[in-house]
Structure 1
Amino acid sequence: MSKWISTSLGEVAKIITGPFGTQLHKSDYVDSGVAVIMPQNIGSRQVNYEKISYISEEFATTLRRYKVLKNDIVFARRGDVEKHAFITESEEGELCGTGCFLVRFTSEHVLPEFISLILSTPFVKKWLVLNAVGSNMPNLNTEILKNVPIKFPDLSTQQKILSTISSVEYKIRINTKINTNLLDMAKAIYMHSFFGKHENAKISDILLENSKSNIQVGEAREARGDYPFFTSGETIYEWDNYLVKDRNIYLNTGGNADVKFYIGKAAYSTDTWCISAKNDFTDYLYLFLDAIRPELNQKFFQGTGLKHLQKALVKDKEIYLPSKEILTEFNSIVKPMMEQVSFNTRNNQYLSDLRDWLLLVLMNELATIE
């Protein structure tokens, strides 16, 4: 049986701080070119391209120190610090952006992809959150990342574990890709059919507000349960009781604008505004809010320091509402898409729990893979 070695991330990799704001300005971004991985682009062990920015090939050469290579890892320096992106061949050559750390492996005794799995376990995620600094928003620094505790067996066992876990990871990736495609189609149908039409109502005319939650995000980070738990971050946690059911929209109330949609029993944090709509308009309202997300971010989030969503402005926002007949036709197309997205989201939660449980059993040497 292979013995697991306990050490820290800094013993097997070097930590590189991403470019500072003086090196990379908003004016440097272009419509296409070299992708820049920022904190908002870091998903669950992958790069999220939905809000990615680009710089020119020419300008990227001046920042070549920060170009990512296959098997690197990119961490956010602030915000959702427990998440990271593992760099595959398809992302090689992109840029580690401002507000991020680049982890580059130096040890011959570890497989980078295996360490990425270890870094995604609940134990390490909890450690990162507890050791992050900052009162309003968790922040990492190089010393914290160097001290992240990790465990690994010999290379042969690492490869066996990766092969076992890969089927679960593959299914999670497929579900995520299907969801992206379905949401893109639903958004395109909405934009083609309704966006830009003359407003004839206000959001308040159809809005239904759910009760404010008193559950803090920190409580959910350590929880396990049967129901998805939505927050003002991108990570979906779990909770053992549900607060709402059926079709609901979840909006960030602090930081930056984001809009999520889920069908089923769920819970949410105190910094999340959970709403739905009258007269079967919930799916429609979600797609409208998603379409105006840049406007929400620029005009509806106000305040010094950490900005907050001004709910009164959202309620007063004008909107075009189609007739009942047209809405029924729209829903007949879009609703099945949104239902499949929610089903895949639940499935991914179960698969992630299975992966984490299997890794925990193996890390505690309660089982082996032959």
Structure 2
Amino acid sequence: MNNITLINIAKSQTGPFGSQLHERDYVEIGTPIVTVEHLGETGFTHQNLPFVSNEDKERLNKYLLEEGDIVFSRVGSVDRSTYVSKNEEGWLFSGRCIRVRIDKEKASPRFISYYFRLRSFKEMMRNISVGATMPSLNTSLMDNISLRLPNLIQQKKIASILSALDNKIELNNKINAELEGMAKLIYDYWFVQFDFPYDFAQGKPADETSDPKDVKPYKSSGGKMVWNNELKREVPEGWGSGYLNDLGNIIGGSTPSRNNPEYFTKDGIPWITPKDLSNNVGNKFIKRGEFDVTQKGKDSASLNIMPRGTILMSSRAPVGYLAVSIDEVTTNQGFKSFVPQLPYTTEYVYYKLSQMMPIIENNASGSTFREVSASTLKTIKMIVPFKGIIHEFTNKVNPIFQKQENLEKQNQELAALRDWLLPMLMNGQVRVEEKYQVGDGEIGMAAESPINKFIS
């Protein structure tokens, strides 16, 4: 291990300031700019990216990102950093960020990005930041950071192992995103466009008794639409109206007293907060949050235990996060959770709430923070389809839910394995042996390695 100052292996640069780039320069289509909000642990968040024109890209070309760069938050969460992949090459970074460009002859950029994710390094970054109210970094502070690194060959070996785990996580996420797109398309096609499969020969929604040649999409094939006075719109003939309350029991939550340490634990009854859901963005399912409650805590706050398959919906700070419970859970007061009741199912209720979220958010109220109450939810009207269509939809989408749940579980195991290996590989407790090196510098694991079941 060698002690090295960052300036000896890398160059730090702050992004363009307001005088160089203003929000008024943003365009609808162009070159993306990553900001602090887009920095993720294993990659950039690609949602809600601002864009600049090709002319501004040329003007700001010294701020273009290259594969292997590492982008830090310059203000606020100064311990946040993200590795730039091939996908983000040619993008720009904002003035609230610092780019670190590693000299590849002296160090492995991928290894350094993992080094920056060490808990001890993150703590050090928070300690060296300046500013009483808002922590901040500058290039001088970055340049003088001291690192303790193995030689370049070991760096590349370690980075290859950790990258294999992250690549598998990314692949699983891509598969889940494609599955999600399929499930949403089916829901929209059936329940928004009203083109659910209809057996016109038998005059009923298609089921296992239908001849495929008689099955066509309802509305676009001439299915009768009728005016519904309650909903003030046309719906398929035979469909009705109801309220969100019809989907199942709407259950709130509460918080046991923080003054009693006997009420909270790390291994008890899962207890979810809106913060847990914000940390879970990108996933559909959730098993537990940062804290569990004990039986005493549950009893003291009169918490309701909700079953697997409950749809958890944050009702304040903010309104609208959704997740499906994998096991029995409780929540704090920031939720209005739906326990589905037949004919409504977890799959249907999840997408129904997603579809109606703009209406739910519009019904939120409050001066300090906006919140939607259970009584308000019970007054929101909804379309009620044929029960049989909900059944057929569930049969189609349930295998997608199962696959997504399994992949999310696998990702949690992969992340736990990566986080367990990370400090031991970095401080030399675990070494990568030469006999595991194969191909063009890629690392193969021994046959008995527990990593093989994930990355093979």
TM range (shorter): 0.7 to 0.9
Q: Which residue of 2 aligns with 1:25?
A: 23
CA contact (8 A) 2:75 2:137 kept: no
**1:204 pairs with one of 237, 245, 249:** 245
Q: Output one character per residue of 1:319-352: Cα deviation in whole Å (capped at 9) or x when no partner.
A: 3332321111111112221222222112111111
1:324 aligns with 2:387: yes
- The counterpart of 1:288, out of the listed 343, 352, 357, is 352
| Residue identity in the other structure for 2:340 | K
Q: 1:161 to 1:325 in 2, by over 3 A?
A: same
Distance 1:5 1:201 in 2: 68
- Asked if 2 retains the 8 angstrom alpha-carbon contact of 1:19 and 1:66, the reply is no
Q: Would the alpha carbon gap of residues 268 and 123 (structure 1) be closer, same or farther in structure 2, given more than 3 Å must change?
A: farther
Q: What is the rounded CA distance, in whole Å, between the counterparts of 1:135 and 1:333 in structure 2?
A: 55
**Equivalent position to 2:156, from 152, 156, 159:** 159
Letter in 1 for 2:425: L
Q: In structure 2, how many angstroms separate the alpha carbons of the residues matched to 1:168 and 1:240?
A: 27
Q: Which one of the candidate residues 68, 71, 85 is aligned to 2:68?
A: 71
Bigger drift between 162-171 and 143-152 goes to: 143-152
* CA offset digits 1:289-327 (Å, max 9, x no partner): 4345566667748656xx544345555443333232111
Residue 231 in 1 paired to residue 276 in 2? Answer: yes
Question: Could you tell me how far apart the structure 1 residues matched to 2:348 and 2:98 are?
Answer: 39
State the alpha-carbon separation in 2 of the partners of residues 344 and 81 from structure 1: 31
SS state at 1:231 partner: helix
How does 1:94-173 map onto structure 2 within 5 Å? Answer: 94-97=91-94, 99-105=96-102, 108-125=105-122, 140-142=136-138, 146=142, 150-173=147-170
* Alignment of 1:277 onto 2:322: no
1:354 matched to 2:417: yes
- Aligned equivalents of 1:308, 1:131: Cα separation in 2: 36
TM-score w.r.t. the length of structure 1 is 0.76
> Quick one: structure 1 residues 233 and 261, their matched pair in 2 at CA, closer, same or farther if it must change by over 3 Å?
closer
Report if the CA contact (8 A) 2:25-2:52 is conserved: no
One-letter amino acid of the structure 2 residue matched with residue 28 of structure 1: Y
Would you say the 8 A contact 1:9–1:145 is kept in 2? Answer: no
What TM-score results when the alignment is normalised by the length of structure 2? Answer: 0.63
| Counterpart residue number, 1:336 | 399
The corresponding residue for 1:14 is: 12
1:113-156 residue CA offsets vs partner (Å, 9 max, x unmatched): 112112233444566678879999x8654379738775421111
Change (3 A) 1:201 1:38: farther
Check 1:52–1:291 CA distance in 2 against 1; reply closer, same or farther (3 A cut).
farther
Q: Does residue 42 of structure 1 match 2:25?
A: no
Contact 1:257–1:301 under 8 Å retained in 2: no
1:264 maps to which residue?
326
Q: Distance in 2 between matches of 1:125 and 1:316?
A: 47
Q: CA deviation at 1:231?
A: 1.8
Return the offset for 1:241: 4.3
- Cα displacement (A) at 1:177: 0.8
Out of 170, 173, 178, the residue aligned to residue 176 of structure 1 is 173
* 1:56 equivalent in alignment to 2:53: yes
Q: By how many angstroms is 1:90 displaced? A: 2.1
Go from structure 1 to structure 2 and tell me whether the alpha carbon gap of 1:101 and 1:239 turns closer, same or farther (over 3 Å shift). Answer: same
* Cα separation, 2, equivalents of 1:214 and 1:26: 47
Is residue 70–residue 113 contact of structure 2 (8 Å, CA) maintained in 1? yes
Paired with 1:286 and 1:170, the residues of 2 have a C-alpha distance of 29
Task: In structure 1, give the amino acid aligned to 2:243.
Answer: K
Partner SS, residue 351 of structure 2: helix
1:247–1:263: 8 Å Cα contact kept in structure 2? yes
Secondary structure, in 3 states, of the residue corresponding to 2:99? strand
Residue type at the aligned position of 2:390:
L
**Matched residue type, 1:340:** K
Contact 2:271–2:331 under 8 Å retained in 1:
no
Q: How many residue pairs end up in the alignment?
A: 359
Do the aligned partners of 1:262 and 1:342 also contact (CA within 8 Å) in 2?
Answer: no
Deviates further, 49-58 or 138-147: 138-147
After superposing the two structures, state which structure 1 stretch, 119-128 or 278-287, moved more.
119-128
For residues 78 and 112 of structure 1, what CA distance do their matches in structure 2 show? Answer: 23
Deviation at 1:92, TM superposition (A): 0.7
Aligned counterparts of 1:317 and 1:98: Cα–Cα separation in 2: 43
